[in-house]
Amino acid sequence: MSRRHYLDHASTSPLRPEARDALTQLLELGHDIGLGDPGRIHTEGMTARGLVEDAREQVATLLGARSREVVFTSGATEAIAAAVWGGGSRGGHQVFAAVEHSAVREHATRAGEVTVVGVDRLGRIDPEEMLRAIRPDTAMVHLQWGNHEVGTLQPVAEVVAACRERGVLVHVDAAQAAGRVPIAFGDLGADLMSTSAHKLGGPTGVGALLVRRGVRLPPLLLGGDQERARRAGHENTLGVVAFGAVAEALADGDRLGAESTANRRQSERVAALAGMVEGIEILGDPHERLPHITCLAVAGVEPQPVLIGLDRAGVSVHSGSSCASESLEPSPVLEAMGVDAHRSLRVSVGWSTTDADVDAFVEALPGIVTELRSLAG
């Protein structure tokens, strides 16, 4: 079988060697001495506790937080749900941007009354408009660090500072930003931040909610005192340790910066197709965006045959709503931006992407689009 070219890292990134090695070593350790419940004081439990706390420190270091501010979850979706639930306990009104991930939009809408703030054609909110949406009963404001479909960066620091002045909790969805750009949670001053391990090369089924020191929220999951009574349920020791290993690797020297630079260069090669092929445009901000995501509008063809053509050429990308699995539903993000929500390609690179992967996409797409247009015409 010929080599595949995986360019869908924004959906999930392949497991890094550091995560795989951590999992293998932990399985061997568990076989040798047995790993117990991290909440127990016997040797097996204390061994597991030490591993979890080491990983907590590693994740905190990567994200510029205190270790006690890190609450491990089953992923970003649970972290977002916990943030929304906790914020809802303070009042019924929440504010979010129209381009937020569906986990934010749907959980907040279910929790109570919401105000949705629009965006411009680049997918960016106006900070003043977002702040005007805050009411006396507003419990929480949600704003993603960078968009999961078009990559546009949001004015997070400005919004966080203004919300702090108003005494309103602010939650930042950093699932796409973590491990891609430098993050200093403590310096930012956000109250809550959600992340996911598998987006940056860790295992699936584990993530974290960062909770600023001094912020008290009722837990979403009840039934035990795990995570200092902030999230009940037996810790996913395997996943947590592997998450920590990836965080430690990215925090080592300037590895995060080097990967970010390489990914941006690769993304710019993808974006260059907009100037080479008629009817292809860049969606989102072409400059102020996350380094690994490029979203292209492809006029005159439906996305499904384009995806099939690329897949036959050995190239994996995504189209449509980032939350859709099998059906290519129109993107709420692109609809909010006022652009064509039906014909887009999201190309996302990552730690394992090679220039050959990008070459395969750049070489295959023009011919596929030309052929489909000729058939349609």
Active site residues per annotation: 323
Q: What DSSP element (H or E) covers 211?
A: strand 207-211
DSSP 69: G
In sequence order, what are the residues at sequence separation of 6 or more whose Cβ sits closer than 8 angstroms to the Cβ of residue 159?
A: 125, 127, 130, 131, 141, 143, 170
Q: What DSSP element (H or E) covers 261?
A: helix 255-271
In sequence order, what are the residues at sequence separation of 6 or more whose Cβ sits closer than 8 angstroms to the Cβ of residue 121?
A: 337, 338, 339
Closest CA to 353 of 363, 361, 364, 345: 361
| Dihedral of alpha carbons 71, 76, 82, 88, sign | positive
Q: How far is CA 275 from the centre of its chain?
A: 29
CB 209 within 8 A of CB 171: no
- β partners of residue 196: 207
